[in-house]
Chains A and B, each alone.
Chain A
Amino acid sequence: MILLFLTSGLFLGWSLGANDAANVFGSAVGSKMVSFRKAALIASVFVLLGAVIQGAGTSETLGKLGAVNALGGSFTVALAAAVTVYLMTKFGIPVSTTQSIVGAIIGWNLFTGNHTDSRILSQIISTWVSGPVIGSAFAILLYIILKAIKKYSSIHLVRFESFIRTGLIIVGAFGAYSLGANNIANVMGVFIPSFNLHEINLGILTLSSAQQLFMLGALAIAAGILTYSKKVMETVGNNIVELSSEAALVAVLSQALVLFIFSSTWLSSFFIRVGLPPIPMVPVSSSQVIIGCVIGIGIYKGARNINFRILGEIGIGWIVTPLLSGILAFISLFFVRNIFNIDVGRKAERITATDTHPALMTAPDQNISNIMQYLLLGLLITGITAILFYYFLERKKRTELKKSEEKFWKNIK
């Protein structure tokens, strides 16, 4: 039953993987610099790592906005967010899971009579605007640097493209890590206050209940990447303006930096140590940040070929997405509570993700912990098998090509 409640979050994770992986590897795959198979494999591994290692910061902020304290409530909130993402995608508006989940949490707050912290809300909303703006500033700066390197280094085009390809893979991995770290809160954040699992001790590290949830969410994201992102990557990769390989590298790196900045607790503490204001740990929309980055490059190049309609659509998304998911969450919560008689949460003042009352949580379930351990083992075996399979497939392809070349020249002679 507990796992059934998670399905809405997992669905949200799946759609995030299917849509947002394109922001990280879309340009590389769309321009044929990196094969889809390689991109999907790297993105899946690094999303998982980012979510488990660094996902806590942004989840805490979402928890402060509204700590959904019943599984039925978490399920409904995540479902409302997922349906909103689906509907907005259907209407072709660049949608953000962050905005959707924030709206749904506020809907839950309103329904249960919980107070919405306006300071946290304004912090979150300000990053929706500042994320793309910082992204575009990074993009312009990095693009100027890369262009200067290309111009003055006299590096051979083949070698330069080779560096760019390697860069795209490394930056893509960093982008996927940051995506996992920053956006896992959207997928699993609402479940943390009402979910309690036994810790798993792996010898070198211990996975807390939240980290296990993040791992499940990241697996859903990985499933989205592996099953549905190919089409999105190939078609959406160059949607805004046609990107050259170096522009693609810059856009992905800038986006990864923005996502990393808004999810790195270490960087935030460093800012405090040097006397600067702390960086808010907020999940930002990877789609909107990358659009900001690409527009930054477009502005630098003369802003002739930018699709400005997309900017308008982002603006619409900022208002419509949270509004729609909030209303949807409110109505769904009403039905879930009154028709299905499921507890969707109650008024619990000053409850945060880190300060949850034990009475509000489910008791740790040994069966689920066992399932998680088997899942980890399965994940490890699948990962190793996939890497080996990929290696042998590539080797076979090369050997066949070499043989056909030798045969061709032998026949010519």
Chain B
Amino acid sequence: MAVFTRTTKNLILKIDEFFDNIDLGLLVFREGVKAYLNKDMEAFNRHLQKIELLESNADKLQRSIENEMITHSILPQHQGEVSSLINVLDEIIDTIKATLNDFSIEMPEIPASLNHNFISITEASVCAGEELMPAARAYFKSPYSVREKLLKVYYFESETDKVSRNTTRIIFQEMKELDLSQKSHLRYIIQHIENISDNAQKAADLLSAMAIKIVM
């Protein structure tokens, strides 16, 4: 019986650790982008290494959680949904890692006048992810409060869209000195940062449905 074994406790710890990884990943991403914009490559590389570690750990935890749920038949009625949630959350940290790697490999040249815009996009996108995490944790402990916690995710996702649309407009319409290739490259990087909030919104949609099902 699961109550009398360590299986339940282990699984709870693993789920919490997985969420911690995503939370930390979001923090490190924010600092990483700031370090890149400030041309502090040493700090940036340190953050990149940290993200790689967190992403690999999250992958291991994801597999382990799914395995334990299946083999010990834990949460049989919510297994598919919990797996999907963990998968979407893992996509967030995958996107974070991919974006920081893009910064590292492609070294986009971001004009100093756009630093503020890039920080704003990053802030809004990371905030969407950060607001998602309490809701994801609440699904397991107080599902009644999940939906109210998700409101901020949707707000920050739309903020990210607005700021990135505005920045893209500035890049293409006001910065005549930039080549088309450079403009396209900047737009590509913005889209990558935006993907974090898009994934957060995807997870929020899923969580919202999951919470209704569990409360009913």
- Which residues of B (137-167) have their CB < 8 Å from a CB of A? 139-144
Question: Taking the complex as formed, is B1 at the interface, i.e. its CB lies under 8 A from any CB of chain A?
Answer: yes
**Of B11, B143, B214, B216, which one neighbours A158 at CB under 8 angstroms?**
B11
Question: Taking the complex as formed, is B77 at the interface, i.e. its CB lies under 8 A from any CB of chain A?
Answer: yes
Residues in A neighbouring B74, C-beta threshold 8 A: 158, 161-162
Expressed in whole angstroms, the Cα–Cα distance for A408 and B59 within the complex equals 13
Expressed in whole angstroms, the Cα–Cα distance for A155 and B12 within the complex equals 11
- Which residues of A (323-374) have their CB < 8 Å from a CB of B? none
Chain A residues bordering chain B, tally (CB within 8 A): 26
Expressed in whole angstroms, the Cα–Cα distance for A301 and B216 within the complex equals 8
Whether the Cβ atoms of B3 and A157 lie closer than 8 Å is no
Question: Taking the complex as formed, is A165 at the interface, i.e. its CB lies under 8 A from any CB of chain B?
Answer: yes
Tell me whether chain B's interface is mostly helix, strand or loop, or mixed. helix
Residues in A neighbouring B76, C-beta threshold 8 A: 31-33, 245
Of all chain B residues, which has the CB nearest A404?
B67
Question: Taking the complex as formed, is B78 at the interface, i.e. its CB lies under 8 A from any CB of chain A?
Answer: yes
Of all chain B residues, which has the CB nearest A301?
B216
Whether the Cβ atoms of A157 and B77 lie closer than 8 Å is no
Given contacts A157-B214, A159-B8, A245-B77, contact A165 B141 (CB under 8 A): no
Residues in B neighbouring A158, C-beta threshold 8 A: 8, 11-12, 15, 74-75, 140
What is the distance, in angstroms, from B13's C-beta to the closest C-beta of chain A? 10
Question: Taking the complex as formed, is B173 at the interface, i.e. its CB lies under 8 A from any CB of chain A?
Answer: no
Whether the Cβ atoms of B67 and A157 lie closer than 8 Å is no
**Of A33, A35, A151, A156, which one neighbours B12 at CB under 8 angstroms?**
A156
Question: Taking the complex as formed, is A387 at the interface, i.e. its CB lies under 8 A from any CB of chain B?
Answer: no
Chain B residues bordering chain A, tally (CB within 8 A): 27
Question: Taking the complex as formed, is A401 at the interface, i.e. its CB lies under 8 A from any CB of chain B?
Answer: yes
- Which residues of A (399-413) have their CB < 8 Å from a CB of B? 401, 405, 408-409
What is the distance, in angstroms, from B97's C-beta to the closest C-beta of chain A? 16
What is the distance, in angstroms, from A251's C-beta to the closest C-beta of chain B? 15
Expressed in whole angstroms, the Cα–Cα distance for A246 and B108 within the complex equals 54
Whether the Cβ atoms of A401 and B71 lie closer than 8 Å is yes
Of all chain A residues, which has the CB nearest B14?
A158
Residues in B neighbouring A301, C-beta threshold 8 A: 216
Given contacts A157-B139, A157-B141, A157-B143, contact A162 B3 (CB under 8 A): yes
Question: Taking the complex as formed, is B60 at the interface, i.e. its CB lies under 8 A from any CB of chain A?
Answer: yes
Whether the Cβ atoms of B1 and A157 lie closer than 8 Å is no
- Which residues of A (207-251) have their CB < 8 Å from a CB of B? 244-245
Residues in B neighbouring A33, C-beta threshold 8 A: 73, 76-77
Residues in A neighbouring B4, C-beta threshold 8 A: 166
Whether the Cβ atoms of A166 and B2 lie closer than 8 Å is yes
Residues in B neighbouring A169, C-beta threshold 8 A: 1
- Which residues of B (1-50) have their CB < 8 Å from a CB of A? 1-4, 8, 11-12, 15
Residues in A neighbouring B60, C-beta threshold 8 A: 409
- Which residues of B (88-115) have their CB < 8 Å from a CB of A? none
Of all chain B residues, which has the CB nearest A32?
B76
Of all chain A residues, which has the CB nearest B140?
A157
Whether the Cβ atoms of B67 and A405 lie closer than 8 Å is yes
What is the distance, in angstroms, from B77's C-beta to the closest C-beta of chain A? 6
Question: Taking the complex as formed, is A154 at the interface, i.e. its CB lies under 8 A from any CB of chain B?
Answer: yes
Residues in A neighbouring B63, C-beta threshold 8 A: 408
9 new A-B contacts at CB < 8 Å, known A158-B74, A244-B77, A398-B71: A32-B73, A32-B76, A154-B142, A158-B15, A162-B2, A162-B8, A165-B2, A245-B77, A397-B71
Query: What are 29 A-B contacts defined by CB distance under 8 Å?
Result: A32-B76, A33-B76, A151-B144, A156-B140, A157-B78, A157-B140, A157-B143, A158-B8, A158-B75, A158-B140, A159-B3, A159-B8, A159-B12, A162-B2, A162-B74, A165-B1, A165-B2, A166-B1, A166-B2, A166-B3, A166-B4, A169-B1, A244-B77, A301-B216, A398-B71, A401-B67, A401-B71, A405-B64, A408-B63
Residues of chain B at the chain A interface (Cβ within 8 Å): 1-4, 8, 11-12, 15, 60, 63-64, 67, 71, 73-78, 139-144, 214, 216
Residues of chain A at the chain B interface (Cβ within 8 Å): 31-33, 35, 151, 154-159, 161-163, 165-166, 169, 244-245, 301, 397-398, 401, 405, 408-409
